[in-house]
Chain A
Amino acid sequence: MTEREKIFTRIRDALKTQAPMPGHHGSSHKPHAISEARNAIAGARQWLPDPGADSAAWLEQFQKLSAELKTVVHLCNDEADVHSKLRELALAEGWRKVAAHRHPLISPAATAIALPALETDGGYDANEMAKCDVGITACDALVAQTGSIFLTTRSAGGRALSVLPPHHVVIAHRDQLVPDLPAAFELMTRLYGENQWPSMSTLITGPSRTGDIERILVLGAHGPRKLTVFLI
């Protein structure tokens, strides 16, 4: 018998005895029906924090949480507006090299900055990317409920581009903002479906952070110290 078969045999033997439903231990809570539990997540939306009723409220919530998380959000009128703001940022922070990926929103922006640029498509040298001052990416969705950015290897130029350079810039359209996590996961399933999944999807909530030393918040533990979102 292989180790795999041994483990599965032990699991099946163990599961011959049923465990009591949760919520029976001295609690007065009446358990849901089992079939309801299986579909519980569709209903779980109603227990999560309230993201607001309409897109204006979602935007407000996204901005509020971003401020708490130290994500900088710029509302922009159009792409030209994004480009001029990006040029200001490049000047202010003294960028010398940028990293980006091929994308209808990102490529023109990288060109507009007029600095040497590394493109991740088709592979790159990690040592070169480590020298870049900024990684500029698109994303799949923005989540109002948690102030998060949902992106994948496919939508954002690979695994490292959004985490290795010290500053991560995201350019997105306002209609990419979804109210809550259940909506974000539904959207991802719709976009990538079964067996179309990119090898990595990630929910980014603020710049990289740690509280490991005396529980004091420090930004930029390993990933980006800064996270900036341009919302068109």
Chain B
Amino acid sequence: MSDVAIAPRAQFFEDADRITHDTEHRRRIQTAMGKYYVSRYSRQALFRNWQEARQTAAETKWAALKELDKHLEAFERNATARGTQVHWTSTGEQARQVIVDIIRRHNARRIVKSKVMTSEEIHLNQLLEQLGYDVIESDLGEYIQQLKGEPPYHFVFPCMHLSREEISDLFENHLGTAQTHDPEELTMIARRVLRQKYIDADIGITGANFVVADTGMISITENEGNARLTAALPRVMITLVGIEKVLPKFSDLALFLPMLATAGTGQPLTGYNTMYAGPKQPGESDGPIEWHVIFLDNNRTALLADPQQRDALHCIRCGACLNVCPIFKNVGGLSYGTTYQGPIGSVITPHFRGLQDWKHLSGASSLCGACTETCPVKIDLHHHLLHNRRNAIDEKRGFLEGMLWRGFTFLINRPKLFSLSIKLGRLFQPLHALVKGTIFDPAAAWTKSRELPEVAHESFRDYWKRRQSK
């Protein structure tokens, strides 16, 4: 299942360890999240009833998934009636092939992209660059990450870990621009570079936040206007979207758009929420002559087949669970090594890319439940982390862990032996100081950053016996 060079687990532990000790990095994330908390929770407080709104959103998504096949058919019927071409792909490989075929058919060279998380999932940019196409990310954060040669750090705030100095250096190296530490000037540099790209591009690729079944529309949420330009100027538009993004009705957006904006960034509504119903229609002055909507499964149906965790497909990718997660804030977004970071990423990645390769992410959790509490569509995130742990063990029991538990069961069932082992523990614990922190330390993983608790001087059994005999 795995397509990465080093084992995801080893990479995670190495990166998480490094980032956790980087106090400057942690300070930067804390500052950014502090701003998020203020705007998000003050915006949320303006809802007349946020909890009821969450419940309604969760039920709407639940009902949407319950009849997913019918909604997808309705979308296809309504969209194709206006000339949209709909494609169905089971794997990343198939989706990549459909996209390359469209590009070749139009003899396209230049491609401009707005934010498309599913394209990160199928490693589209790497392929298109290998094939010699000029591919450019137009979302400012994604553009910066593209220049840096790094995947997005956070699926809503792609370069939140970078300082303005680092971004200025990046622009100087890649674009030859003068150093500036003013965020506005930095943004204007990107604006100037990217502006001509929209006009020159042959093909625009976008993602989608919602698929509206009853009108055959795709809804895209953004702040910068880059997706709108990507969908306005190139003559061919491609939209890549996961099959689960369905909302039954157009009017459902009236609830989901403000909830996404509130949970995602603390705005009343995100800058642009745009609903596309087809390619350029007769009588319209602009827009692409062709529009391709590519649906991607990529193991989403495997998650759909698990009724216990199916609600993970409700996700509207607001990123709130990342923002509140104590693990995310300490290990950082890149350590995950996944397209989707944070709690939601830890829940769904094992389904998308293999449980045994990605089960370690479900272990990296304090089970505090902050993610579940903040989720606007009520995904039971922290319980799903437990479900993943259970499923991983049911599927494959580790030999050492099995031995350990069998040994423990053996010991705990024999009172005399148990009592003896405690006495021995008390006797030998002072010797632990000799090996502490070395490779001979059996408790090294714990003692690296913590003290081992001392074995009690008197066990409860001994205490009870002494008390009775008084």
Contacts and interface: CB of A to CB of B under 8 A. Distances in A.
B69 A186 contact: no
Q: Looking at chain A's contact residues, is the secondary structure mostly helix, strand, loop, or mixed?
A: loop
Contact of B254 (A159, A182, A204): A182
A53 interface: no
B223 A50 contact: no
Interface string A74-118: 000000000000000000000000000100000000000000000
Contact of A224 (B225, B255, B283, B295): B225
Interface residues of B, number: 117
Interface stretch (B11-19, B46-54, B424-432, B449-457): B46-54
Contact of B53 (A8, A44, A194): A44
A200 B276 contact: yes
A204 B270 CA distance: 8
A202 B273 contact: yes
Interface string B283-327: 111110000000101000100110110110010000000000000
B243 A223 contact: no
Contacts of A26: 383
Nearest to B53: A47
A222 B270 contact: no
Contact of B285 (A10, A123, A209, A220): A123
B158 interface: yes
A102 B233 CA distance: 20
Contact of B187 (A15, A40, A210): A210
Given A14-B305, A37-B56, A123-B286, A8 B252 contact: no
A199 B277 CA distance: 5
Contact of A200 (B162, B270, B275): B275
A47 B158 contact: no
Contact of A214 (B164, B198, B254, B372): B164
B249 to A, nearest CB: 7
Nearest to A208: B225
Given A11-B304, A210-B187, A214-B32, A222 B226 contact: yes
B163 interface: yes
Interface centre among A3, A44, A65, A127 (most CB of B within 10 A): A44
Nearest to B196: A130
Interface in B224-257: 224-226, 228-229, 231-233, 243, 248-255, 257
Interface in B358-379: 372, 377-378
Which of the listed residues A18, A161, A213 has the most CB atoms from chain B within 10 Å of its own CB? A213
Contact of A23 (B47, B58, B66, B272): B58
B390 interface: no
A47 B268 contact: no
Nearest to A102: B285
B63 interface: yes
Contacts of A11: 68-69, 72, 243, 301, 304
Given A208-B223, A218-B183, A202 B265 contact: no
B228 to A, nearest CB: 5
Contact of B59 (A22, A148, A222): A22
23 contacts: A10-B301, A19-B62, A32-B56, A40-B59, A41-B251, A44-B53, A47-B53, A48-B48, A65-B268, A124-B286, A126-B286, A153-B281, A158-B284, A200-B231, A200-B274, A204-B271, A208-B271, A209-B223, A214-B32, A215-B31, A218-B184, A221-B140, A223-B224
List 5 tightest A-B contacts by C-beta distance, closest first.
A223-B225, A159-B232, A22-B58, A221-B224, A212-B141
